[in-house]
């Protein structure tokens, strides 16, 4: 089948991060600093990405500002005519660093926030970062860069949606992504303590719509659907190997950031292969392109043209078989793995409106992720 050029590259330049967020989608087996691609290797990846037809690069991690050569990579991307975005915790985003990023040609920054007030935000992040984020927002705006923000929602902050939006407006954000937790990596390990109740979710959606009406065009608000509560799954990155790719800190190339969790696939590395060959010809990228690989009910379902069978990573996590219909789908033969989990844990302790750091971090259901 003919394969079109990818639109975007997610460049995971490191897995190192000062934060320890329990909802992190990074893999359980984080790459160490000594395994990271060198600056020269990343420069070659950017050259190959441009030749492949990619137009956007999202530098992320971990915390990309922990690499002193981030500006070098951004400058090369700018020289290649690529749009560049930096996704950061804000730790290390000083006035001087932001100035250097802007001078290198960075187009925009996405800053994460955990909660609208410092105590809860710092407890969720496992690091006193909230005030540093406020300072980072000021530095970003002062440096003339567009400020985009994201907040991952879960049972410990979802009841504060309006306050989070108000905070981001106050910090000068032009765009805010309200991303209900997607359960991969560390988030999957911790999902019992992250899953909101149905009542929390309904109240949050109402708060989101109130805020859209209240703030209008002052800020662009994006609501990422919580698929454990959805009738049908989200499209798999717009289709597996269709729109974007991810390069991990050690050089493996994935169709999405969570794909390393599929243990039945071998993903090629930019250390051994050209990016174009990996995108067009590698077995992993071709594994779920098109529709021939699909099992029923997807194979004969009209929705396959909308959701491509749903998420392959989620199918593997919940069934052990990445070819299965995403269990989020109400027609999936494995849907009970989702519905029973929601029934069992959507109302379980700790209290919906509180986060006790000691019981949360040391709970047998919680994995505290040090870097």
pLDDT digits (tens, 9 = 90+) for 69-111: 999 999 999 999 999 999 999 999 999 999 999 999 999 999 9
pLDDT at 366 (0 to 100): 38
Nearest C-alpha neighbor of 28 from the set 196, 188, 170, 143: 188
Contacts of 14 (CB under 8 A, 6+ apart): 31, 33, 36, 61, 62, 63, 64, 66, 67, 249
Q: Is the pTM of this model over 0.85?
A: yes
* Closest C-alpha among 180, 184, 214, 209 to residue 197: 180
**Angle at CA of residue 61, ends 4 and 27, nearest 5°:** 85
Mean pLDDT of 232-253: 91
Which positions make up the binding site? 17, 21, 24
pLDDT above 50 for 353: no
> Using CA atoms, how far apart are residues 60 and 57, in angstroms rounded to an integer?
9
Pairing state of beta strands 220-224 and 108-112? unpaired
Structure-model confidence comparison of residues 330 and 364, the more confident one: 330
> How do 253-254 and 244-247 pair as beta strands?
antiparallel
User: Residues of the chain with pLDDT > 90: what percent?
Assistant: 85
- Which residue segments constitute the domains of the chain, with CATH numbers given? 8-224 (3.20.20.70)
Q: Residue 370: exposed, middle, or buried by beta-carbon count in 10 A (0-12, 13-18, 19+)?
A: exposed
Residue numbers belonging to the annotated binding site for [4Fe-4S] cluster: 17, 21, 24
- Closest by CA position to 101, among listed 124, 68, 133: 68
Count of other CB atoms within 10 angstroms of residue 79: 12
Range with the lowest mean pLDDT among 49-58, 92-101, 261-270, 350-359?
Answer: 350-359
* Nearest C-alpha neighbor of 298 from the set 266, 265, 264, 321: 321
User: What is the dihedral sign for C-alpha 353, 358, 363, 366?
Assistant: positive
* Cis preceding-peptide flag for 350 (omega within 30 of 0): yes
For the cut 60, the answer to whether the pLDDT of residue 356 exceeds it is no
Residue 161's φ and ψ, nearest 5 degrees, are -55, -50
Q: What is the pLDDT of residues 281-318, one digit of tens each?
A: 999 999 999 999 998 999 999 999 999 999 999 999 99
**pLDDT value at residue 321:** 97
Reported as a single tens digit per residue, the pLDDT across 136-153 is 999 999 999 999 999 999
**3-class DSSP state for residue 181?**
coil
Rg of the chain (C-alpha set): 20
How confident is the model over 58-79, as pLDDT tens digits?
A: 999 999 999 999 999 999 999 9
Q: Dihedral sign for Cα 278, 282, 285, 286, please.
A: positive
Residue 239, pLDDT score: 86
Percent of the chain with pLDDT over 70: 92
Quick one: which of 138, 130, 128 has its CA closest to 164? 130
Distance of CA 95 to the CA centre of its chain: 26
């Amino acid at each position: 089948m003919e394969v079109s050029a990818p639109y975007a590259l997610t460049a995971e330049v490191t897995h190192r991060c000062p934060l320890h967020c329990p909802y992190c989608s990074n893999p359980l087996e984080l790459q160490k600093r000594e395994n990271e691609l060198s600056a020269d290797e990343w420069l070659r990846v950017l050259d190959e990405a441009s030749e492949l037809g990619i137009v956007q690069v999202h530098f992320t991690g971990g915390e990309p500002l922990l690499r002193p050569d981030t500006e070098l990579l951004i400058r090369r991307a700018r020289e290649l005519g690529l749009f560049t975005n930096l996704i950061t915790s804000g730790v290390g985003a000083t006035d001087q660093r932001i100035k250097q990023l802007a001078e290198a040609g960075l187009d925009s920054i996405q800053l994460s926030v955990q909660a609208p007030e410092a105590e809860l935000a710092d407890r969720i992040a496992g690091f006193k970062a909230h005030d540093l984020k406020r300072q980072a927002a000021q530095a970003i705006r002062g440096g003339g860069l567009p400020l985009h923000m994201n907040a991952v929602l879960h049972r410990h902050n979802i009841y504060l949606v309006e306050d989070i939006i108000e905070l981001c407006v106050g910090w000068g954000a032009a765009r805010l992504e309200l991303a209900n937790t997607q359960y991969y990596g560390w988030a999957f390990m911790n999902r019992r303590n992250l899953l909101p109740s149905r009542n929390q979710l309904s109240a949050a959606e109402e708060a989101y719509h109130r805020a859209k009406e209240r703030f209008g065009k002052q800020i662009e608000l994006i609501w990422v659907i919580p698929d454990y509560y959805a009738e049908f799954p989200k499209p798999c990155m717009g289709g597996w190997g269709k729109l974007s790719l991810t390069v991990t800190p050690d050089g493996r190339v994935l169709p999405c950031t969570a794909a390393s969790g599929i243990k039945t696939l071998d993903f090629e590395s930019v250390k051994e292969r050209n990016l174009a060959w990996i995108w067009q010809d590698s077995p992993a990228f071709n594994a779920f392109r098109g529709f021939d690989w699909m099992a029923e009910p997807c194979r004969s379902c009209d929705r396959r043209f909308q959701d491509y069978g749903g998420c392959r990573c989620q199918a593997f996590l919940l069934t052990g078989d990445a070819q299965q219909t995403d269990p989020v789908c109400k027609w999936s033969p494995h849907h009970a793995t989702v519905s029973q989990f929601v029934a069992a844990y959507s109302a379980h302790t700790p209290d919906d409106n509180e986060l006790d750091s000691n019981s949360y971090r040391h709970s047998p259901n919680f994995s505290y992720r040090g870097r």
